[in-house]
Amino acid sequence: MSETLLQRFVLNAERNGMTVHRGEAPALEGAETSEAIYGLADTGSVVLAAAPDEPRARSLLPDRHVTLLREDRILPGLADLFAALGGELPSALAIVSGPSRSADIEQRLTTGVHGPGEEHVVLLPA
């Protein structure tokens, strides 16, 4: 993976409202931690796959969520993700691009309504 790809991921993740950390997960009260199968540089998104040791609720229910992402698992974009998956899709695949947002009520943007209000990504060395 190139440094440019990593930089693009970080820039886009931060634009989306994620807090990006390098190397060590922060201690955040009430946070749940998941491990991403991939990251997408084009959108700054993390890709979470449901598995027995990675239940979907872990990334959907807490107020704060931390995703661990190995730097060598960052792909350029969505087409690369589906090529990497090779047709083998998990029972649920979530592409998280920042804190939960909604403008359902009176067109006012609110975070954390339908999921975590804080999203953190911890980049781990390959």
Q: Are strands 64-70 and 118-124 parallel, antiparallel or unpaired?
A: parallel
Question: What class has domain 3-124?
Answer: alpha beta
pLDDT digits (tens, 9 = 90+) for 50-93: 887 876 766 766 678 899 999 999 999 999 999 999 987 888 89
Partnered with residue 118 across adjacent β-strands are 64
Q: How far is CA 58 from CA 8, 37, 66, 108, in A?
A: 27, 15, 10, 27
| Residue 1 pLDDT grade (very low, low, confident, very high; cuts 50, 70, 90) | low
Q: What is the DSSP letter of 16?
A: T
